[in-house]
Structure 1
Amino acid sequence: MSDASFDCAAARTDVLARIARAAQGAGRNPADVTLVAVSKQQPWEPVAQALAAGQTIFGENRVQEAQARWAEHRQGVELRLIGPLQTNKAKDAVAFFDVIETLDRERLAKVLADEIQAQGMALRLYVQVNTGEEPQKAG
C-alpha cells in the first residue's frame, strides 16, 4: 500500500457501501455488520491512513506486535485479537485487547476467565467452534 495513488478513504467508503448492499440483500441491517481492518504485519503508514479515513476497529494476530504498534495510538480504537492465543500470553491479551475472537479450547477459556476476573475487565470473547471437525482447524 505504498502506492501514492491509493485512496484509503475512498476504498473504505466503497467497502462499506458493498457491505451495506450485501446486508440489505440478506435482509440484515447494515449497522449490524462490523468492518474490521486487519492491520497485522502492516507498516504503520497504511494503518495511519485507515485511521485518518475513519476506521476505528482493527484486528491483530500477535499480542506483542499489537502492543508495539498500538501503544501510542489506543485512543478511540477498538483492537481485536484475531490470531491464536497461547495461554502464557492471556494476561497481556486481556489487558490490551477489547475483543478476543479466537477462544478455541477449554484450557484457554479457564485462563482467560481467571485473567478477566483478576484484572476486573469487561472483555468480549468469541468462541471458535470447529463444526466440521477438521483436524487442521482449531476450535
Structure 2
Amino acid sequence: MGLSDIRKRMVKACDDADRAPEDVELIAVSKVQPEDRVRAVLEEGQRVFGENKVQEAQTRWPPFQQEFEGISLHLVGPLQSNKTRQAMEFFDAIHSVDRPKLANTLARLAQEIGHCPELFVQVNTGEEEQKAGVMPGDADAFIAECRSLDLPIRGLMCIPPVEETPSLHFSLLAKIAERNGLAGLSMGMSGDFEEAISFGATHVRVGSAIFGERVYE
C-alpha cells in the first residue's frame, strides 16, 4: 500500500470503466495522521488533501503551504455552523453541505467574503440516524434550495454504511446527481474506491491505504 499503489489502482479502475484517469481526483485524507507521513506523501507529489476538522487543518497546513506549492485542501468532515467562516477562508472545497442552516450561512458569508469554495451536498444514502447528510428523498429540494442561494454546488458526497454493499449507495448517489445536472461525485474510500470509480466517482477520498492506519493520541 501507499500513494504509488493507489494511483496505479486508480488508473486500472479508470481503464476498466472506460474513463480517463484525469477525470478522477485523488483526495489523500490526512486527518489525525502524523506530520512525517503527510510530509512523505507531499514529497511524492500529492497536492490534494482532505481533513475532517477545521481546527486541525488550520494547525497542520500553513507551514506545509509555505514549503510546498499548489496544495488544495478539502473539508470532508461535518461542518459546524460556527466554523463556517473559518472553513470558507481556509478550504478549497467543502464536501459536507447537509442542512438549510449551513447553506444559508454559506450564502451569507460568500456575499460578505466575496468568494466561496466548491461545495458538495452530503447525502445520507443509508438513512442512518447517527450520520450527517440530507436524506435521499429530500436531496432534490435541498439542491434546488442551495442553487436558489447562488451556492456553487459542484456535486454530491456520500459515506455508505459499513455493513452494506457500497455499490447500491454509489448508484443511488449517481442517479440523484444525474437528475439534478450535477457532475461531481465524491464517493469511495480506501476499501471501495475502485468500485466508486466504476459508478462515476470524480473524487475519491483515500486515507489509511495511503498513509497507514490512523494514529490517535
TM range (shorter): 0.7 to 0.9
| Alignment of 1:37 onto 2:28 | yes
In 2, Cα distance between the equivalents of 1:126 and 1:63? 16
CA RMSD of aligned residues (A): 1.4
Q: Map residues 1-139 of structure 1 onto 2, 5 A cutoff.
A: 11-74=2-65, 75-139=69-133
With the length of structure 1 as denominator, give the TM-score of the two structures. 0.87
Q: Which fold has the larger relative contact order, with Cα–Cα distance below 8 Å and residues 6 or more apart in sequence? A: 2
In 2, Cα distance between the equivalents of 1:118 and 1:60? 25
**2:149 aligns to what?**
none
- Output the amino acid matched with 2:59: A
Identity of aligned residues (%): 50
Deviation at 1:43, TM superposition (A): 1.3
**1:3 aligns to what?**
none
In 2, Cα distance between the equivalents of 1:132 and 1:46? 32
In 2, Cα distance between the equivalents of 1:46 and 1:131? 32
For residues 58-87 of structure 1, what are the alpha-carbon distances to aligned partners after superposition, in whole Å with 9 as ceiling and x for unaligned? 000110110010112224100000110000
Deviation at 1:53, TM superposition (A): 0.2
Aligned length: 130
In 2, Cα distance between the equivalents of 1:37 and 1:84? 17
Q: Which portions of structure 1, spanning 4 or more consecutive aligned residues, are displaced by more than 3 angstroms?
A: none
With the length of structure 2 as denominator, give the TM-score of the two structures. 0.57
Deviation at 1:111, TM superposition (A): 0.6
Q: Which runs of 5+ in 2 are unaligned?
A: 134-217
Q: Which runs of 5+ in 1 are unaligned?
A: 1-9
